[in-house]
Structure 1
Amino acid sequence: MKKNQIYAIVDIESTGGNIENDRMIQFACVLLENGEILESFDTYVNPLKNVPKRIQELTGISSKEVKEAPYFEDIAPVLYSMLEQTIFVAHNVGFDFQFLNQEFQRAGFPKLTIPAIDTVELAQVIFPTSNSYVLQEIVEWLGYDLDRPHNALFDAEATVFLLKKMDEKLQTLPLTTVEKLAELSHYCIAETYLFFIHALDIMKKAPKDLSKDLVIAEGIALKDPSICIQAIKPPINSFYPESSKSKTAFFDDSYLKRSTQEEMMDTVYQYFKKSEKMDGLAIEASSGLGKSLGYMLPISFIATSEKPILISTKTTILQRQMVEETFAYLNQFLAFPLKIASVKGKYHYLSLANFEYKLKHVDLQDIEALFCMRILVWLTETTTGDLDELGAGGNNSHDFWTEVRVGQANLTSKTFQKWKNLDFYHRAQKALDQAAIIVTNHAFLVHDWKKEKSLFSDVERILIDEAHFFPDVVQSAATETISYNSFISVLKKFGTLEKENSIIATLYELSRRNIIKEYQIQSIETNKTLFESEWEAFIDYWVDQLNLSREKKSRIIKWQERSVEFSQLSLPLKRTVKELTRLVYEVIYVGNHIINKSLEDKDQLSSSEQFNMLMFNDFLEELTNNAQSFKTIFDQNSPGDHSWISYYSKKPSSTLKFNRTSLYMKEKLLHSLQDYSHVVYTSSTLSYNRSIDFFKKQLELDNLRFVELLSSYNYEKNTKVYVPEKLLAVKESSSDDYIGYLTDSIEILAKEVDENALILFRSIDSLQRVYHNLQNKKSLDNKLILAQNISGTKSKLLKQFKKNRNALLLGADSFWEGIDLPGDSLKIVIVTRLPFDSPELPAVKMRYKEILAHNQNPFVQDTLPRAVLRMKQGFGRLIRSENDKGILIILDSRYIESSYAHIFKQALPPEVKIEQLPLKVISKEINHFLKNGN
């Protein structure tokens, strides 16, 4: 911050977000100079209108409090005088500054013309890995406890903390980075650029040496890959701690001793220790057991660079957590550094060559300037270059993020040789060769199996975590999909002649200089235009024939799926498929000729043209993959295959997808498991009806040893399961009656209970209808009601839910499993319906088809086991630690009355009792149990 300059950190609360019609109810300002607080000012303001109820709940400010406060006209002279010589700072300055000026104008004052700085944009740049830039969340991430968010004074004080933290961080960055930030910052809102200009002035007057762990290449500062930052450790903990006592001694006080976790450690250690080829091992580890550490500790003592062990988990997010949290924790106690490589597709990594080009050609008036600023700061922190590390604050769908990712590796190395040793993807590949432990995700692993040369071909031992997801990932990988947008988006990237520096504009320039032939460009443009026209007509045909555009349900938004046999198309459609295939392959064929010719004459190409040819090569590769998928979906006709279309009910034309699952490919992928000498499968839900047979069938395994590790939690004391009396018979009721029943039941259960409740559905349709009904229930006005696909992303919903203690969260699908809501953040789970898969889903139809081919019953062999395992996962959301207490309520009569009810009950720990009581009694019992403990 500028020396001897006064900064006014302001926050405003108002009756709403409309600058014209809403009024201020609180104003707070903290004056800051040279890092010291000079003065704080805080007052309520009479808005001359009632404070809306939602604003009262948000801010804690009542209509009564502001009625006794001064009018804005009374305090306007004081505020104007206080602010007119300052730099105005606010978190979301666009609102606060405009709102305040509007109030000044109403009071007869001129608008303030002082500089204004936005701490939201500053935080996005200076803390690029933060997962949120909401004031409360980012200051908490930085270690500040904001007790009363949405109180103007508390928010202003939190913004002071944030501003000072950003100033401190900026002063630690390399001078070259801050110079570039200052240059790019003119894009920022209002006069936010001044923050970077002032920091640069200070740094130039007292320059510092470059940090030893950084290097500068082409004017860009980044972590030095040649420096090993890990400190040398004393020679302790060199041997696996086999006894319980030695395990406790291995860790520090942070270690929570669990006998079942230690049993898992020993089981995994003994299994991987054996040198001969072993049958597979399945370990079912109860929720909350700590299975990640349960297998990571023993693996750390067995894996070597010569004989690595591969770990695969469900998602890239879990993959990252494993490396950054569990392995980092374990590494504190090991005598040797863990050689770990986290492997993802190249698309996840930043290309330094592509970024350098972007940086040199960025438009300072475009949002790309802000994206470049974020990356410049992040490069001084990241050792991986994995763009997933960048948190919130970037529009990931923007073309910028595609253009700075790693593209065709061999072309990158030829065109941008200077970056080869620093290139993140190249470094990741190198780390893989030296790693003892390799971490990946199921989707990457299974798609790698499809390649001629597997990246993991030398790996003999593998552990598959979250293994209950693995069979479905295999089926997904055996499914080819092409969407309307698959072709449209990639062809759009070619650009136009009018768009400067586009692919097409570059091609015309090359033809003008006789590097390529003009007829080649004409061929690409003609075939591209014809393809786009035919493709639009092809999509319209499907929409019309299947009456997709007529499905209009005003408030219900969902994905639809419908089975279609692509091998039985009409003759005109077959001709269209053939013509589409010809046109797209013509573009690819000519495009590849142009790439090869431009590489021969690359010395005649400018850096901009080389970059565009690099991007053109990537786009052609993407187009080729799409063309191959299209050909596979519509040309093949294997008897075991299943094909279908899917679409978004509100926009069927632009979201239409064609899908085909290949039984042959599925069997080929499953056969890959036989190539490993040791395979461990682990999850909290592997067994069904006390058996592992269902899991074995899914993966076509003959021999699989099973170890069940039961939780030591006191479920009898800490858990209650209720089924209401007089449940509605779902199959005998109309849709409206069923939705009304669910709404009324949830209202009765929730209105008297001040605890968070997770309400699980199997149908998005039912979820959305119940949500809208609950919103109209006055008895639930004091509750925050959140719903999947309505109230925000999954991560946003979970954040809001965790912060509250009186919220209802309506979720389906992914909310049944994989979410961690320990302690007070979740006390009640309500299951609206037993989680059976819909037999109408194409993936389910394909499974049924396979089962019927073996003369077996699909319900018994597939539907029931999957539902029971999903129910097991739903129950697992409740008890995550020894002190957790929870209640499960099931609103489906089949849980008690069906012929298979006893199998569902086996999904619960044996000591859990199921009670059947009237709904109103259950509501009272909930409060009694959660408050009194029994």
Structure 2
Amino acid sequence: MINKFVVIDLETTGNLPKKGDKIIQFAAVVIEDGKITEKFSSLINPNKSIPIFIEELTGLNDDMVKDAPLFSEIAEKVMTLLDGAYFVAHNVLFDLSFLQDELIQSGQEGFFGPVLDTVEMARILYPTADGYKLSDLAEKENLNHDRPHQADSDAQVTAELFLILLDRLTSLPIVTLKQLSHLSGGLKSDLQQFIDDLLVNKEDTLEQLSESIEIFKGIAIKRPAEQTATTNSGKEYQFPASEVEKTSLVNHAFEAFEMRSGQFTMMDTVYQSFQTEKHTLIEAGTGVGKSLGYLLPIAYFSRQKGLHIVVSTHTIQLQEQILKNEIPLLAKILPFKLNTVLLKGRNHYISLEKFSRTLSDDNDNYDTGLTKMQILVWLIETETGDRDELNLSSGGQLFWNKIKNEAALFLQNQAWQERDFYLNAKRKAQSADIIITNHSLLLSDIKGEGTILPDYSFAIIDEGHQFEKVASQFFGHTLDYLATRLLLSQFGVYEQKLLFHDLERLIASIPKKTEMVTPVTKLNQLNVDLAFETDEFFQLIALFAKSKLTNKKGINRAKVRFSLQDEAKEKKALVHSAERFAFLLKDFHSVILERLEWINRESDTLTRSQENKMEEIQSFLNELTELRNTVIYSFIKHTSDVKWIEIDIRSPQNVTTFIAQPASVADQLREQFFQLKKAVVLTSATLTVNKSFDYIMKEIGLDPVSTIQLTIPSPFQYNQQVQLLIPEDIPEINTVSLEDYVISITEHIITIAEATKGRMLLLFTAYDMLKKTYELIKESGFLHDYAMIAQGITSGSRTRLTRNFQRYEKALLLGTSSFWEGVDIPGEDLSCLVIVRLPFSPPDEPLTEAKCQLIEKRGGNAFSEYSLPEAVLRFKQGFGRLIRTENDRGIIVVFDKRIVTTKYGKAFLKSIPNVPIKKGRMDDLVEIIDSWL
């Protein structure tokens, strides 16, 4: 067994050795017998100048390397270091190909030993990590990484990380190591060789499995925690009614825990709402501590009445925060034990039985093989089996579709059901006091499609301002080009060895008693026709959208309303295509179903792998039915739903989505949700407009007379923590072109950024404006030493972009829709919030247009009843991004002068906390920023 590892890192003038890029710094750290035994690093003279972006990235410049040795002068030393070792690097193929080139040019024979890649190892051994960059992993393991992008520092950190990864790999159960070895043949590195050597050593010793792990049907998994019934010895636990009682309860559990009077008021209101069975709206300002404000009273109520209480949130982040922070806090306060469970939709959970069957498949591509390895390691850690824990590549997500949990025909093996994560979650929910879920799942029992939630009559809806929007999507339909193509491509043509091939092989393996009615040639022809019609159908959708955009120049992303009443020839062609598409889907479904039924009839027994294939094909058929129903609902059925197309003109083949949603969900929510529940409490930091709940009540169908309404202001001293600035030397947004507006705000953004040293969040209402502003700032060159992070331009999720923003000393974060809420950047990381324009939805945006038409039809005023309140709530959400704790201080700049020049502007200012407002020229406002910060 090789016991020597050399961890290498290089800095280079670029990415392409074949195009003459050269090494400018080499570093190696030697590990022998688990310890670092030697380090070597050297700057290298590349005999060419270092590009400016490499200098910015690495801090290395021409002066620093001019007296350094040439690579040929250290080549022999490098070969000596590598002799008899594994070559290890973070993204090994990059470093190896570069070094190989330089070694051979220096007259050495090059390195041809085994290699290991710490990126690959980290993806397998940390399947739930947020990211696999060296800096992300160093942060995760608390490794000191003081000079990223300098080879000696990177090599040292990679070596420390590698030792941790080796340790982790070595501690895996033998059964898992054997499975990983079997799967690792297709990796970029020689991990298989290393694992096989490891197994030789391990198999000589008796394995002591950790108590938390069990081997179940050949897979090592985390042993489920024992479900102990909560006995609280028949005591009657009374909800602490007075502030004194509540304070002593909390102080009993914590020294110096800060309870706020607003939080007490909230606790009492939630408890009373449930006791008196009344629906309630509570707007709780930032810093009230609303999670604990509802969790404490519902814990008592649940205990006293023996009932499940459902807590629903809009975002995964809030669910995680409740589980990781609030529930443990609650456990310390309560005098009794509480059972809490998190529930998600069925497809979120892995099917262990399906996964175990895929382990014997041989023809995995790279992504599938790696994903299986990730899952094998994850199963030793996960208690939930929830895919949201995993960091999967896009290829990994495709594989997930094969192993996700769903209702099954054949998977009836009792033994697997004992360990089924989905069934386990359902069982836990039956005995839980508090069930945490999301708005979509909360609504799923309305459709009566068999929900995972047990019966409940009391619920808390947190992030309640999102409830109406989720309900609209829930009652609606979506048809998307990429998803449709992806679904149909799962069946494939016969030669591709996908489901079509599997189906015909199954048929061929069964001794025939009766002939198949439909020949394979017909299925083949249907498949070809369907592929053609899918493309035709979506091209006609795009054509219809473009025909409506002829007078809108320069707009790339657009939403176009669709109506069956439209007389345009493009609409008629589209509807005809939809009819053909629906017929083809029906025929396709029938022929495949006929084959499945034939197999069921003719076969006496099926092998496990044949059952697995039948299961996959049945699942495919269910999705085909759903697709056909959506096509009929959207293009053939006359409904009152609003229908529209979202398209990107530059690449319609990638971005074409058809959406149908009800313009109002108030009646459906009232009749199918609120009237069936005894008490629902909706809470959020943004439910009122101009101190009134009228707008939200109308939107979700609550009766103002019988609904309790409570506003709890934030405990923060906004008038001492915030300055609101309105520059007067910017044109009114509606009086100039987009280009002119962008030029004038860009100038101001640069001025503000220099005054605040970055730490700025800029909120836009449209991606086009964000993109143009970003490009103009970049072009100007004024902020070249600032990190510019922009949604839709910088890659990554909202969470990742926010985390990157917090990492840099001087940074600007530009965001649109999703950044107006849920972004939490406390402290000095965020000192300035810029609201580029008031967040009105465009009047021609289909859902907005339809809602306004409904209001006008019944004689109302669409602007004051819908457009304005909706914009005010979004503005309040945006405003709430700046002050997250009582010690935060900051500046808010609103570029849109309508907030002070129009009558309706007052509605925005009256809906936020009282803060000092200053208007003036930008030069004068900069002085205020300087003295304030």
What displacement does 1:655 show?
Answer: 3.3
CA distance in 2, matches of 1:539, 1:155: 48
Q: What is the distance in 2 between the residues matched to 1:159 and 1:253? A: 42
Q: Which residue of 1 aligns with 2:437?
A: 440
Q: Does 1:461 align with 2:462?
A: no
Maintained 8 Å contact 2:840/2:868: yes
Structure 1 residues 420-819: aligned runs within 5 Å: 420-451=417-448, 453-456=450-453, 458-500=455-497, 502-510=499-507, 513=510, 514=512, 517-520=515-518, 522=520, 523-547=522-546, 559-568=557-566, 574-600=575-601, 603-638=604-639, 640-662=640-662, 667-671=667-671, 672-702=673-703, 703-793=706-796, 794-819=798-823
Provide the rounded CA distance (Å) in 2 between the counterparts of 1:533 and 1:254. Answer: 69
Cα shift at 1:771? 0.9
Deviation track 1:820-841 (CA, whole Å, cap 9, x = no partner) reads 1111221111111111110111
Partners of 1:41 and 1:121 in 2: CA distance: 25
Match among 12, 15, 20 for residue 13 of structure 2: 15
Q: Distance in 2 between matches of 1:163 and 1:237?
A: 55
**Aligned position for 2:368:** 368
Partner of 1:47: 46
- Structure 1 residues 690-732: Cα deviation after superposition (integer angstroms, max 9, x where no partner): 1111111111211322222212222222211111122212222
Asked if the contact 2:665–2:700 (Cα under 8 Å) also holds between the matched residues in 1, the reply is no
Query: After alignment, is 228-237 or 397-406 more displaced?
Result: 228-237
Asked if the contact 1:236/1:334 (under 8 Å) is kept, the reply is no
Deviations 1:651-680 (A, max 9, x none): 224533333223587632442122111111
Check 1:709–1:128 CA distance in 2 against 1; reply closer, same or farther (3 A cut). Answer: same
Residue identity matched to 1:778:
G
Does the alignment pair 1:289 with 2:281? no
Q: What's the CA shift for 1:143?
A: 2.7
CA distance in 2, matches of 1:226, 1:778: 57
1:264 to 263, 266, 274: 266
Letter in 2 for 1:265: M
Output one character per residue of 1:877-901: Cα deviation in whole Å (capped at 9) or x when no partner: 1111111111100111111111112
- The alignment's C-alpha RMSD in Å is 2.9
Deviation at residue 255 of structure 1 after TM alignment: 4.3
1:797 Cα deviation after fit: 1.6
Give the deviation of 1:815 after TM superposition.
0.7
* 1:779 positional shift: 1.4
Q: Mean Cα displacement is larger for which, 450-459 or 18-27? A: 450-459
Measure the CA separation in 1 of the matches of 2:929 and 2:64: 36
CA offsets 1:56-112 (integer angstroms, 9 cap, x no match): 333233333223433323322222222223222111111122222222233332211
Q: Which residue of the partner structure matches residue 876 of structure 1?
A: 880
Is the 1:236–1:335 Cα contact (8 Å) retained in structure 2? Answer: no
**Structure 1 residues without counterparts, runs of 5 or longer:** none
Q: Please, which moves more after superposition, 820-829 or 323-332? A: 323-332
Shift in CA distance, 264/44, structure 1 to aligned 2, threshold 3 Å: farther
Give me the whole-angstrom Cα distance separating, in 1, the residues matched to 2:793 and 2:448.
39
Indicate the SS of the match to 1:360. Answer: coil
Distance 1:551 1:97 in 2: 53
* Counterpart mapping for 1:58-137 below 5 A: 58-137=57-136
The Cα shift of 1:455 comes to: 4.4
Question: TM-score normalised to the size of structure 2?
Answer: 0.93
Secondary structure class of the residue paired with 2:517: helix
Deviation at 1:770, TM superposition (A): 0.9
8 Å CA contact retained: 1:237, 1:333: no
Q: CA 1:27/1:682 → structure 2, altered by over 3 Å: closer, same or farther?
A: same
- Note the C-alpha offset of 1:124: 0.7
In the alignment, which residue of structure 2 is the partner of 1:358?
358
Closer/same/farther in 2, CA of residues 306 and 410 from structure 1, 3 Å limit: farther
Question: Secondary structure of the equivalent of 1:776?
Answer: helix
Distance in 2 separating the partners of 1:234 and 1:9: 60
CA deviation string 1:774-821 (max 9, x = no partner)? 111121111111211111122332121110121111111011111111
Q: Aligned residue for 2:310?
A: 310
Q: Could you say what secondary structure the match of 1:519 adopts?
A: coil
Q: Which moved more, 1:163-172 or 1:481-490?
A: 481-490
User: 1:921 aligned to 2:924?
Assistant: yes
Aligned residue type for 1:264:
M
**Matched residue type, 2:612:** F
Distance in 2 (CA, whole Å) between partners of 1:717 and 1:479 is 45
Contact 1:474 1:670 in 2 (8 A): no
Give the distance between the partners of 1:536 and 1:212, measured in 2 at CA: 55
**One-letter amino acid matched to 1:617:** Q
Q: After superposition, what is the alpha-carbon deviation per residue over 1:314-360, rounded to whole angstroms, capped at 9, x for unaligned? A: 03443344334432443355555432232222111111121111111
1:644 to partner: Cα distance: 1.7
Encode CA deviations 1:629-660: one digit per residue, 9 max, x unaligned.
1111123324x432222222222245333332
2:840 corresponds to which of 836, 840, 843: 836
Q: Within 2, Cα distance between the matches of 1:595 and 1:747?
A: 65
User: Deviation string for 1:565-614 (max 9, x for gaps)?
Assistant: 12556666554433332221222234334334434556432333211110
Query: 1:65–1:330: structure 2 CA closer, same or farther, 3 Å change rule?
Result: farther
- Report if aligned partners of 2:430, 2:454 keep a CA contact under 8 Å in 1: no
1:376 is displaced (CA, Å) by: 0.5
Q: CA deviation at 1:14?
A: 2.1
Contact 1:262–1:294, Cα closer than 8 Å, also in 2: yes
CA contact (8 A) 2:342 2:437 kept: yes
- CA distance in structure 2 between the aligned counterparts of 1:686 and 1:642, rounded to whole angstroms: 25
Alpha-carbon distance in structure 2 between the residues aligned to 1:456 and 1:316: 18
Secondary structure in structure 1 of the residue aligned to 2:418: coil
Give 1:431 deviation, angstroms: 1.8
Offset, 1:267: 3.1
Name the stretch that deviates more: 72-81 or 613-622: 72-81
Query: What letter corresponds to residue 886 of structure 1 in structure 2?
Result: G
Letter in 2 for 1:754: K
Q: AA paired with 1:315?
A: T
- Post-superposition CA distance 1:427-456 (Å, at most 9, x none): 122222222211111122223312255544
Query: Percent identity at matched positions?
Result: 31
Q: Distance in 2 between matches of 1:79 and 1:347?
A: 51
Closer/same/farther in 2, CA of residues 519 and 152 from structure 1, 3 Å limit: same
User: Which aligned pairs between 1:882-897 and structure 2 lie closer than 5 A?
Assistant: 882-897=886-901
- 2:362 & 2:229 partners in 1: Cα distance? 37
Preserved CA contact (<8 Å) 2:29 2:155 = yes
Question: Please, which moves more after superposition, 671-680 or 36-45?
Answer: 36-45
8 Å contact 1:233–1:336 — kept in the other structure? yes
- Residues 201/454 of structure 1: CA separation in 2 closer, same or farther (3 Å cut): closer
User: Judging changes above 3 Å, is the alpha-carbon distance between structure 1 residues 895 and 770 closer, same or farther for their aligned structure 2 residues?
Assistant: same
For 2:586, the aligned partner's letter is Y
1:645/1:365 CA distance change after superposition, 3 Å: closer
Whether the aligned pair in 2 keeps the contact of 1:552 and 1:650 (CA below 8 Å) is no
SS in 2 for 1:31: strand
Q: 1:170 to 1:577 in 2, by over 3 A?
A: closer
CA distance in 1, matches of 2:321, 2:362: 33
Q: 1:250 to 1:140 in 2, by over 3 A?
A: farther
Kept in 2, the 8 Å contact 1:8–1:30? The answer is: yes
TM alignment of 1:109-188, pairs within 5 A: 109-188=108-187
Secondary structure (helix, strand or coil) at the match of 2:283 reads strand
Contact 1:357/1:608 (CA < 8 Å) preserved in 2? yes
Kindly provide the amino acid, as one letter, of the partner of residue 431 in structure 1.
K
Structure 2, unaligned runs of 5 or more: none
Amino acid at match of 1:402: N
Q: Using the alignment, how far apart are the partners of 2:223 and 2:458 within structure 1?
A: 32
Report the Cα distance in structure 2 between the residues aligned to 1:288 and 1:199, rounded to whole angstroms.
53
With over 3 angstroms needed to count, the CA separation of the structure-2 counterparts of 1:858 and 1:348, relative to structure 1, is: same
Determine helix, strand or coil for the equivalent of 1:413: coil
